[in-house]
A and B are shown apart, each in its own frame.
Chain A
Amino acid sequence: MTKRMAIWATVFATCCIALAYLSAFIDGGTRWGVWCMVLGLATMVVALMALGVSRRGGGVGALAVPLAFTFVVLVGGFAAALLLPSETAGARVYLGLPLRAALVLYGVGLLPILVLPLSYALTFDAMTLSEEDLRRVQALGAAHAAKQGRAGH
């Protein structure tokens, strides 16, 4: 079920991105085209992650939280950059950058790094690859090698 949803979400995201590019051919670009790109990018990134995470018909479990967080950060960061007012000479700076740039650079660029790799590591044994999984894969590998060996004779 999760895989199927992830695939449909990826298809939806691809269509959004295609629409965004098509919009660029209309009078040098449209506002809705940019929003299509924002939605498409965030959806594609998270949908592909969900596609990789889910296995054997299972869901994304506790990883739903970091995945949702990533979606919110991507959409929120880009939306803030589109909606907030432009920078002026006396604009206040945050960690060395005007607000919009800080939200994009530190929000979209750095926040996911603090969350995603840690989420990956903390759930690795339960949701990515356990010792038991690896043993079964190695057994399959041994069986395949033996079969190839027999075929070779």
Chain B
Amino acid sequence: MAPAMWPLLQAGSLPPLAQPMIIGVALLYFAVVAAIGVWATRQTKSASDFFVAGQGIGLWTMAIAAMAATLSGFAFIGGPGLLYNVGLGAVFIILPIGVTGTLGAWTMAKRLRLLGEVRGLITVPDAIAARFQSRAARGLSAVAMLVAIVGYMATNILALGLVIDAIFGTGLTAGLWIGMAITLAYSVSGGILAGVYTDLFQGGVMALASILVFIYTIKVGGGPAGFAGTILPADAPFLAPWGKMTPLAALSFFFVFGIGSLGQPHVVHKFYMLRDPRKLKWYPMIMSAAIVISQLLFIGVGLAVKALVVRGELPPLARADDATPAFLLRFTPLLLSAIVFSGVAAAIMSTVNSFMSVGAAALTHDLPIAFGRKVGNELLWGRISTVAISLVATFVAGMSGTLVAFLGIFGWGLFASTLVPALAIGLNWTGATRAGAIASISTGLVVTLVFETLAFMKVFSFPAGVTATALALVSSLLVFFVVSWFTRHTAASTLSDDVRFVMEV
């Protein structure tokens, strides 16, 4: 595994938060989520409802749901901690939001939504299979997604267990299972419909919490100039654009999280759900604004805690992940702390729910079709698969923190390296070939697996700025271009007329 990316995962416990106000707000939050789940269950009558909300979601709901699925608990806990630790270089993880909303809209939103219109597609591997007319490409991408989803879900369920343990004092193991059970309850019954509407609510909680906390960070920090005035004399490199990282390491974050965001299936899958494709017109604006608002806490808390530590108003943190809880519990009203901790749970649950849906679709829809079969009752098997994937991920989450962290990084890398070439480029370039897609997906799988595992086993370590995820993404892109070029005479034969029309429209 790439050590440079370890801090991106929430694996350490949070300080105890069990206070009546925090418990009360958390219970209220879970009650709203449960109510949405009950409503959605009554609306879910088919596999299309379960996996793509019957293509009946409005723009605001889709954009906020995509934002909520994009942000995990890292934005609230791990991110501010990382900024406190390494300085402004940590911001390179979220810096690409200036371009990714519109980049995703131009490269994929329209194409995926229109492919859904033409072919009735419901999954990301569906799109890859339609584009390249290849069961192998579908199967490989589904396998990559399933492996990545279990790992990624495990890290998020672990984080959720930590939050629940901190709020209710349940102990980590009980926290894991309670968190999974709550998320599973509305996901398995209401499917993605429950997911997107809880995402809408959860996204609202996250945005509200982020704005309010940011205001407090400015106030506590002594105004916008207060941070710099305090930190610069004590630790000038902290406020350098790369922070305490090397320029290559910071720029590598931009590459992995910017370009890699195009291959996150739990986010791009939501394009299928939009009722009216022409509403995509305002998607980048809403998505970008929502993400910027939700990231205010990341930057504000990271800078404020550093300034407070420099001024001696806060003792140096023993662990970077304590930055947000330490700031909230000492410098904001208890009600706001309660909202933020519910926001953390919201961020994690919305991500987990999206993974459940995408994973269940890969298992019940894509893998059988890749082997030439079709599941009879996709709705029933979708629900069963959701339970199965969640159980596996929760068992994995209960293993050692290091292994779970490894799987989380592994998951992100797999998504990026296996899906970006075939999806983001393949849907826009008629010269891409089936062989190129299969080779790039295979390369992403193998390179990620080999490099991450060797690094995890400490067989070797990468130089600063280099991660297995980045190498896998670069390798799969290069392989995609090279193999497509060598097999370019086959490009036309892998394109059906309707798909070509969607790619050229």
Interface residues of A (CB under 8 A from B): 3, 7, 10-11, 14-15, 17-18, 20-21, 23-25, 28-29, 33-34, 37-38, 40-41, 44-45, 48-49, 51-53, 55-56, 70, 74, 78, 81-82, 86-91, 93, 95-98, 100-101, 103-105, 108-113, 116-121, 124-125, 128-129, 131, 133-134, 136-138, 140-141, 143-145
Contact = CB atoms under 8 A, between A and B. Distances in A.
Interface stretch (B242-250, B327-335, B408-416): B242-250
Interface in B370-395: none
14 contacts: A24-B248, A24-B462, A24-B463, A24-B466, A29-B246, A48-B107, A49-B106, A86-B236, A88-B232, A88-B236, A89-B236, A110-B98, A116-B98, A119-B102
Interface stretch (B164-172, B180-188, B396-404, B424-432): B424-432
Contacts of A33: 248
Contacts of A141: 117-120
B336 interface: no
Interface in B124-183: none
Nearest to B471: A21
Interface stretch (B5-13, B16-24, B25-33, B284-292): B284-292
Pairs of residues from A and B, 3 with the lowest C-beta to C-beta distance, nearest first = A96-B224, A52-B106, A52-B107
A124 B228 contact: no
B237 to A, nearest CB: 8
Given A24-B248, A29-B465, A138-B117, A87 B505 contact: no
A21 B95 CA distance: 20
B482 to A, nearest CB: 9
A37 B252 CA distance: 8
Contacts, number: 237
Interface string B267-303: 0000000000110111011001100100000000000
Nearest to A27: B463
A120 B102 contact: yes
Interface of B: 88, 91, 94-95, 97-99, 101-103, 105-108, 110-111, 114, 117-120, 223-229, 232-233, 236-237, 239-242, 246-248, 251-252, 254-255, 258-259, 262, 277-278, 280-282, 284-285, 288-289, 292, 424-425, 428-431, 462-466, 470-471, 474, 477-478, 481, 498, 501-502, 504-505
A16 to B, nearest CB: 10
A51 B425 contact: yes
A98 B478 CA distance: 38
Contacts of A44: 255, 259
B117 A137 contact: yes
Contacts of B242: 81
A140 B98 contact: no
A51 B280 contact: no
B239 A101 contact: yes
A87 B277 contact: no
A14 B427 CA distance: 18
A14 B107 contact: no
B248 A34 contact: yes
Given A48-B107, A87-B240, A112 B429 contact: no
Given A121-B282, A137-B117, A20 B248 contact: yes
Contact of B292 (A29, A82, A95, A113): A113
A45 B474 contact: no
A93 to B, nearest CB: 4
Given A49-B99, A101-B88, A137-B277, 7 more contacts: A14-B478, A21-B471, A24-B464, A25-B463, A25-B466, A120-B102, A120-B105
Contacts of B91: 104-105, 109
Contacts of A41: 251, 254-255, 258
A110 B101 CA distance: 12
Contacts of B470: 21
B88 A18 contact: no
Contact of B251 (A37, A51, A90, A109): A37
Given A49-B102, A81-B242, A82-B247, A113 B114 contact: no
A105 B95 contact: yes
Contacts of A137: 114, 117-118, 277, 501-502, 505
